[in-house]
Amino acid sequence: MNTNEKGKLLVISGPSGAGKSTVIGRLMEMRDDVCFSVSVTTRPPRPGEVEGKDYFFVTPQHFQELADGGYLLENAEYVGNRYGTPRGYVEQRRLEGKSVILDIEVQGAGQIQKNCPDAVSVFILPPSGAELERRLRHRNTDSDEKIRERLLQAKRECAEAGKYGYIVVNDDPEAAAGQLDAILTAEKCRAADRLNLVTEVLIS
């Protein structure tokens, strides 16, 4: 049977520090049918971040050119920096049958939900506000002021969680990745996307 189906678009959002990167990393170890869309950003790299792996780091002018040229599937501003998803990569990999994971904030997720109604959206929640603050401080990548900004932003973002298809609480990263894995597997079995398989059985 030809199960060579188009890959899913898996949109993951959640406050900074909720553990999105950690959980996505684990999911990618668990499955070979997923890949990660590396975003373009005007934010400066954090220590240890690698160009082309974590982000493509660009100037504000270059970012604007990409947005104006239609090269971004969505884009948004977050805590003073711009972020966007390269369109070509996502479309190409989905055609190859890979599900593409986007780690994006809520405004961008809203654009995707409007423009790609078949996207699967998951909001990653931290177990509590106090634990979120502890993780941000422990990560040791942002100043006190940036952490305060991110915590304020976190409250605004969590208020949007109901707009997502699924909510996963990241208490334990292994369990959270297991839930993402289950969601993706279930979404790949949707009847509406598999009617071609029924036809194959009927004509064989």
Under the rule (CB under 6 A), what is the footprint of ligand 5GP?
16, 39, 43, 74, 76, 78, 83-85, 103-105, 107-108
Binding-site partner at residue 6 among ligand ADP, ligand 5GP, none, CB < 5 to 8 Å by type: none
Q: How far is CA 126 from the centre of its chain?
A: 16
Q: Interface with ligand ADP includes 153 (CB under 6 A)?
A: no
108 binds, among ligand 5GP, ligand ADP, none (CB under 5 to 8 A by kind): ligand 5GP
3-state secondary structure of 48: coil
Residue 43 interacts with which of ligand 5GP, ligand ADP, none, CB < 5 to 8 Å by class? ligand 5GP
Q: What pairs with residue 138 in β-bridges?
A: none
Selection from 150, 157, 153 nearest residue 136 by Cα: 150
Find tokens 């598999």 and name the residue.
194
Chosen from ligand 5GP, ligand ADP, none, partner binding at 76 (C-beta under 5 to 8 Å by type): ligand 5GP
Q: Does 108 bind ligand ADP (CB under 6 A)?
A: no
Cα 202 to Cα 26: distance, rounded to the nearest angstrom: 39
Rounded Cα gap, residues 16 and 187, in angstroms: 26
* Of 36 and 63, CB closest to ligand ADP: 36
Q: CA 57 to CA 113: how far, in whole Å?
A: 25
Subset of residues 114 to 143 that bind ligand ADP, contact rule: CB under 6 A:
135, 138-139
Q: Does 19 bind ligand ADP (CB under 6 A)?
A: yes
The residue within the footprint of ligand ADP, chosen from 6, 21, 31, 149 (CB under 6 A), is 21
Under 8 Å between Cβ of 74 and 108: yes
Nearer to ligand 5GP, 16 or 179 (CB): 16
Distance CA 74, CA 76 (A): 7
CA 76 – CA 82 distance, rounded (Å): 6
- Residues of this chain that interact with ligand ADP (CB under 6 A) are 14, 16-22, 135, 138-139, 170-173
